A and B are shown apart, each in its own frame.
Chain A
């Protein structure tokens, strides 16, 4: 009976799609893989977050192509003077998608949906917490349990979030995908139906597109939501053609089988730039690739030794060979597109002679060290092994013998976080565009003076910590900016890591596409995109 119903539903959807697609405007996006599920709060991969994004809205969102936060389901947000109370005034008349999985909403989106969406993540006793595994990584990664004291409603259109301590990046956190707003009524509907697991597989949201169908490793289909609060999107149908191979994605783009593609092959970029049918969009990535120098292991505990190592490495050559020019040499620990970036900072020049002299002065002779390289390709480091080999050669010129070391990726990160290395390559891509997400997360220390888990250089500095701790509690961006500039100056002087590069993100799209914006956060959004017939 259930399979018959499933078949009938599929047949109806297919018929509706076929009828509409005859005259519809369709945008095909060549994505790279299948999502884990359609609940962003349970996922951390860009593939899964991209797949769910068309369906949902958040209280606030990032302006496309930027890290600026703007209203979304909350049309107005008040922050109390002490920074401890956030009041969200919800947009009225926002409809959840109707007709998906047999669900017809009987009411508009309201405060209950907001509370439900966060309670599922925060409250282990919530009956939905364990459905589909109960892993809400981003909620804990962004320290939400430590920040949020309570979430309550004053009426159906007003939600109040009380914080345990003032936290300036909280609004940027709430613009992230894990903070999408789900339908509590749909949850009830599925619980009564006895199929709660469908909540994360057949999604219902308020977003610009509603879910139509998903075939694993093949395709995800969406339809424009005519009732979206932002108005109906410009394309009628949105199709994610799952295409794992980057060369095949480019071939599809050339053949007109898709109009937007993710993650081009670096080797194809030159051809794409010359391709008449392709608009190769690019933006500086919100990332940093670095070489961490373990400040708890001599002689890397001396800032002058760390600086000498930075002088010994030719980052210009690395940028040319490893990044193939698709990036810029980094002089600060945060990317230049981020507010509070210290433009006046002086970069450490490549100067092996000065490095050698500094090492001699510090009494470092015949140094033998390890140099860890990640076994995976990451946006901030396209080829860590080659980079490590180049660094090894540079270090040999100043008398440092570096032994290259690598581990399986999970093991690598675990050991690096435990501080087993002397020198280790790693990097970071920002989550929410806030400097705190780089400086405090990657170089911060706890109240006990011990480095945080993700502080790979294992470096702590009291003044730096004071600056970042204070900045996160302030609401005035200019004041915060001053503190972060000061913090960057400390990092630049102390060199806990060698800033290597900020890579560039490329997005090839068809010239028929208009309105597409490259997100510095790596998101792919299509509600404001049009495609010429």
Chain B
């Protein structure tokens, strides 16, 4: 097990370094710079431009800038935002809990709906439910997030008045200290009566929207894994022994079918953490996706570089944890040379 852990960590380090180099170079290859980006129509003489670049340290050779950047990262310094002049790590950790909270809720929604639906579709193979579910899953998987979010807002918020339009909490009724940044927790710790339910109400639509794509993926994957397992000899034996259908499916079949699904859940969570930009924009969700995309337009290099590296770090750690979990479930992984 220790060897597996060391193996995975050893693979993570070169990935991190390569990503650091690629993002740094790629950002410098994009035309424009932060000084030009903030000027709009306004003029800027070459002297003023050069001075502003000098003040930001962007007049140095790219190799020197990269050296400074690596040196900073080795000391835990991911730089300071050119726009807000705030340390990147401070901004990241202010916004990241919102992204994590949304990702977890969206994943939970996708698991709770997707896996049972996949199991049921496998059991009802070829029947109407199976066909309908697969079409729905494919639709969900290919749904344009922006459109889906706005449709849900119009229906659930503007027409049926069941959920709030956007944001994380009612800004007028509930204003309380956010100690952890996770509003579900903060509303219990510090919020007045009703705050927790209000936070849950705000989470419903964005979780559905962000969870729709993974839901489709989980349902399809669970179905195909289940179909494979249901044809195995040990399932036939279980049935022959007289085990109930419920026990056969949920205890014997699903347990084995879940191995690839668990891996997929981890990968999907990784992509949700980094890719919730559209959902964050539609629902005014103050997370890291929207923060990073905004900084592209502003050419805020430290935010982009730092944000990408920090998100990548979290996703890589998540994958290590996932590999370790898979190792626990699957002994073959533990002993692979």
What B residues does A237 contact at CB under 8 A? 172
Q: Are B172 and A28 in contact (CB under 8 A)?
A: yes
From residue B273, how far is it (CB to closest CB) to chain A in Å?
Answer: 16
The 10 closest A-B CB pairs, nearest first, are: A410-B36, A217-B286, A453-B43, A410-B32, A408-B31, A10-B177, A218-B286, A454-B43, A243-B284, A408-B32
Taking A26-B172, A219-B171, A410-B299 as known contacts, 9 extra A-B pairs with beta carbons closer than 8 A to each other, sorted by chain A number, are A18-B192, A216-B95, A216-B291, A217-B95, A243-B167, A245-B281, A257-B165, A410-B33, A452-B43
Indicate if B45 sits at the interface (CB-CB under 8 A): yes
Q: Which of B38, B164, B173, B299 contacts A255 (CB under 8 A)?
A: B164
Indicate if B263 sits at the interface (CB-CB under 8 A): no
Q: Are B178 and A248 in contact (CB under 8 A)?
A: no
What A residues does B30 contact at CB under 8 A? 408
Q: Which chain A residue shows the least CB distance to B163?
A: A255
Q: Are A409 and B282 in contact (CB under 8 A)?
A: no
Indicate if A244 sits at the interface (CB-CB under 8 A): yes
Determine the distance from Cα of A427 to Cα of B177 in the docked complex, in whole angstroms.
Answer: 45
Q: Which chain A residue shows the least CB distance to B84?
A: A36
Determine the distance from Cα of A10 to Cα of B83 in the docked complex, in whole angstroms.
Answer: 25
Determine the distance from Cα of A345 to Cα of B57 in the docked complex, in whole angstroms.
Answer: 50
Indicate if B161 sits at the interface (CB-CB under 8 A): yes
Indicate if A82 sits at the interface (CB-CB under 8 A): no
Determine the distance from Cα of A114 to Cα of B124 in the docked complex, in whole angstroms.
Answer: 78
- Count how many chain B residues have C-beta atoms less than 8 Å from C-beta atoms of the other chain: 56
For the residues of B in contact with A, the DSSP-based class is loop
From residue B263, how far is it (CB to closest CB) to chain A in Å?
Answer: 32
Q: Are A216 and B37 in contact (CB under 8 A)?
A: no
Indicate if B158 sits at the interface (CB-CB under 8 A): yes
Q: Which of A44, A132, A135, A213 contacts B42 (CB under 8 A)?
A: A44
Tally of A-B Cβ pairs under 8 angstroms: 153
Chain A interface size band reads 35 or more
Indicate if A533 sits at the interface (CB-CB under 8 A): no
What A residues does B241 contact at CB under 8 A? none
Q: Are A241 and B171 in contact (CB under 8 A)?
A: yes
Q: Which chain B residue shows the least CB distance to A213?
A: B175
What B residues does A215 contact at CB under 8 A? 94, 178, 286
From residue A200, how far is it (CB to closest CB) to chain B in Å?
Answer: 8
17 A-B pairs within 8 Å (CB atoms) are namely A10-B177, A33-B294, A44-B38, A134-B55, A140-B48, A200-B85, A215-B286, A217-B287, A241-B171, A243-B284, A247-B153, A248-B165, A407-B31, A410-B35, A410-B39, A413-B41, A417-B43
Q: Are A135 and B52 in contact (CB under 8 A)?
A: yes
What B residues does A141 contact at CB under 8 A? 42-43
Indicate if A17 sits at the interface (CB-CB under 8 A): yes
From residue A498, how far is it (CB to closest CB) to chain B in Å?
Answer: 17
Q: Are A21 and B43 in contact (CB under 8 A)?
A: no
Among B33, B175, B177, residue most surrounded by chain A Cβ atoms (within 10 Å): B175
Q: Are A18 and B175 in contact (CB under 8 A)?
A: yes
* Contact flag A21-B38 (CB < 8 Å), given A133-B55, A248-B165: no
What B residues does A37 contact at CB under 8 A? 84-85
Indicate if B271 sits at the interface (CB-CB under 8 A): no
List which A101-150 residues lie within 8 A (CB) of chain B: 132-135, 137, 140-141
Q: Are B166 and A17 in contact (CB under 8 A)?
A: no
Determine the distance from Cα of A192 to Cα of B71 in the docked complex, in whole angstroms.
Answer: 32
Indicate if A373 sits at the interface (CB-CB under 8 A): no
Determine the distance from Cα of A284 to Cα of B285 in the docked complex, in whole angstroms.
Answer: 33
Q: Which chain B residue shows the least CB distance to A455?
A: B43
**Chain A interfacial positions (CB closer than 8 Å to B):** 7, 10-11, 14, 17-18, 21, 26, 28, 33-34, 36-37, 44-45, 132-135, 137, 140-141, 197, 200-201, 213, 215-219, 221, 237, 239, 241-245, 247-248, 251-252, 254-255, 257, 378, 407-411, 413-414, 417, 426-429, 452-454
For the residues of A in contact with B, the DSSP-based class is mixed
Q: Are A28 and B45 in contact (CB under 8 A)?
A: no
* Contact flag A413-B36 (CB < 8 Å), given A7-B179, A454-B42: yes
Q: Which of A11, A18, A254 contacts B158 (CB under 8 A)?
A: A254
From residue A131, how far is it (CB to closest CB) to chain B in Å?
Answer: 9
From residue B197, how far is it (CB to closest CB) to chain A in Å?
Answer: 17
What B residues does A408 contact at CB under 8 A? 30-32
* Contact flag A44-B40 (CB < 8 Å), given A7-B179, A140-B48, A410-B32: yes
Indicate if B157 sits at the interface (CB-CB under 8 A): yes
Determine the distance from Cα of A197 to Cα of B283 in the docked complex, in whole angstroms.
Answer: 31
Q: Which chain B residue shows the least CB distance to A255?
A: B165
What A residues does B291 contact at CB under 8 A? 216-217
Q: Which chain A residue shows the least CB distance to B42?
A: A141
* Contact flag A428-B171 (CB < 8 Å), given A217-B95, A218-B286: no
Q: Are B157 and A245 in contact (CB under 8 A)?
A: no
From residue A399, how far is it (CB to closest CB) to chain B in Å?
Answer: 32
Determine the distance from Cα of A200 to Cα of B235 in the docked complex, in whole angstroms.
Answer: 67
